[in-house]
Amino acid sequence: MPVGYRAPLAGRSREAPDRRIRRRTGPRGGREGGAMRQRLAVLAAAALLAVPAVRAQVLFRDVTADAGIGAQTPGRTMAWGDYNNDGYPDFLVGCSKLYKNLGPPDFRFELVPAGLSGAHGVWADIDNDGDLDIYCPSGGDNDHLWINQGPAAGYTFVEGTDFDGDGTADMVDGKQSIAITWGDFDADGLVDVYVGSYERHCTSSVCGDCQINTMWHNLGSGRFEDVTVNWGLDAAERGLVNGGAGQCLGGGGTCTDDSDCAPFGGWCKSGLCARGLNTVDYDNDGDADIFVSDYRLDENMLLENDGSGHFSNVARTAGIDGHCGDGVCGHTLGADWGDMDNDGDLDCYAANLAHWWGSFADGHDISYLWRSENAGVSFIDVRDQSGMRPFTPAFDPENDWEEASAGWADIDNDGDLDIYVTDFYPFRKHWSQLYRNDGDGDGNGVPDFVDVSDPGNGDCPAEPDPINVSVGPTCLKRWYSWTAVWADYDRDGDLDLLTSGSPIFYQCDTPPVPPECDGKDPANRDTWPQPSYIVLFRNETEGAGHWLEVRLVGQSGVNRAALGARLTAHVDLDGDGTAETRMLREVSGGEGYQSSQDWMVQHFGLGPADRVSRLEVRWPAAGAPVSSFSDVPADGLAVVYSDGADLLRGTDPAALGVYEPQVALYPHRDPEPVLDDARALFYRVADDVTIDVTRDDAARTVVIAIRH
């Protein structure tokens, strides 16, 4: 019995008087109304898809001021998360500003006085109580764990790093923490947090005295323990620094701590210099691995999980440590993972800094586009075959390469992943760019990426770029940009971009010199203005394809936010009756430069397909079965539940809160009938809205569909 919209069964009225329930439905129609304003209670679905005959016209518009954020709000790192469970994504800036999405009709944001503090922030439900909490790495002993108090307390936050209540923070280690990623690394149903550490000092002669990253294991009841040594993470990282002996910076010698380096006037480097972290199942084996973006010419790490929470570094053998054959690795700041070619494994874009002098003389590497081979057994850098911006080393200050982060997203709903890459240092020739994935048109096994940052309407300046002049609202070029994260903030079925940067490149040595350059040294570009302001780009692409958005809800041993879950959508792109295309998504616990985060609701562009032929969800918990659903209809929001425990015999759907979503899908385990007396029930909830409940014994699923 396929999943989807159904006509009533013969002999059964659409309106069952003994089961009638009245509910107010959400507004419908229009960008600010409701096709998307259907709130969430739906299991799962997503899709891959065929390239449409006529490509959609990509268009984004800067709506920062109109959305109530403010046109000059500073920010480098952002994280999307629905902290108050109203179905509309809110966002953090660093860990000090929380912007609440006010929803329809205008989808404006309001700065909430939440009392938060910290440098960066990433969301997770650490206690599985159904609302999102925040960890904020801030360096030294200044990290914060903010616990969401839920609806009874108005979704306020309290500090949670003091486990024992003695007034001293327990979840600190004195390290220069800078980035985090969440994951259920031992598959016990509770999310753990891995914290990356950066340098403690940097002078004109010595930088890079970094320490070992830390793994905090979630014990439940708000308590965590440091398992860095026990889980093999200390040995995996320490062995990469001077053969495990440590290194005194500024003079030589081995070390275990700074006291060993006092004779040399330096500091002890015991670990690599992390700048970004990703939790990712790179090898498709069902457990959560970790990718570490390392800076200061340190090699990157790919920490493979053996399934029990013990890790080993396999980056060198996989070919993803960086181009280290010349003895110099890259300055990697942030990375993002996605299946760019829809071949069933995850690829990686790693954003690098390569100074003009370093790339020319010392072998510093530009960014990598690593294509996964054989389900992550090895990776190949294919960036120079992708059509992305080329780079030729030249002894020219304007030839700096300074990318900070990347974000995969299907911007035009055509079924393949596009990517936005940020650029951060003050060099005029380089800016952030949006690349559209046009598929493998030349047959070289690498998708063709086309720069669509310029909409061609005059908003982007013509070459050569004018200086000290602002670009227009639909030009995606930004300077001094650090982060790129995606969410469908206005719930209209396409992904919007939250990033940072400036629409103006300030050059203080060339007239007309703007007032922002007053007091700056024209000969020292490091003193020139480098503002990084929050920018919200609304997606206004016309002619985009069908889509499906999926929210996952973990139950019965699965972490509530389903961090680390993998969704696979099988789609019939050419209409031949065979779902030959598959697309992967994973729910992220943090990614990119210094802790950023996409919306946890997963978005699939479907192109011409009006449904997902089969949607599979692999849940991140030991022994959790894969949930599979057939014929999931497009153009709506679905919430997927990992267990049917809430759907008992005789359950009235009124108690499930599933009135507005298009489809809600539950697995069922009970051998007894989940529905009380039939395979299909119909509940009239409004004159034009009916709830459809069906049971599919072959697939062991219960489907609740909303029909308008």
* CA atoms of 543 and 81, how far apart (whole Å): 28
| pLDDT for residue 328 | 78
| pLDDT for residue 36 | 31
User: Quick one: CA torsion of 410, 411, 414, 418, rounded to 10 degrees?
Assistant: -50
Cis preceding linkage at 512, omega within 30: yes
Cis preceding linkage at 653, omega within 30: no
* CA atoms of 424 and 481, how far apart (whole Å): 5
Of 139, 43, 16, 36, the closest CA to residue 660 belongs to 36
Burial of residue 7, with CB atoms counted within 10 A of its CB: 0-12 exposed, 13-18 middle, 19 or more buried? exposed
| pLDDT for residue 251 | 76
| pLDDT for residue 492 | 94
| pLDDT for residue 695 | 66
| pLDDT for residue 632 | 85
Phi-psi region of 25 (alpha: psi -120 to 50; beta: other; left: phi over 0): beta
| pLDDT for residue 2 | 29
* pLDDT one-digit tens code per residue, 564-619: 999 999 998 878 888 888 999 999 999 999 989 999 999 999 999 999 998 999 99
The answer to whether 105 touches 28, Cβ cutoff 8 Å, is: no
Q: Give, rounded to a whole angstrom, the gap between the first and last alpha carbons of the chain.
A: 21
Residues of the chain with pLDDT under 50: 1-53, 648-649, 659, 672-680
The answer to whether 552 touches 40, Cβ cutoff 8 Å, is: no
pTM: 0.88
| pLDDT for residue 266 | 80
Rg (CA), the chain: 25
| pLDDT for residue 629 | 84
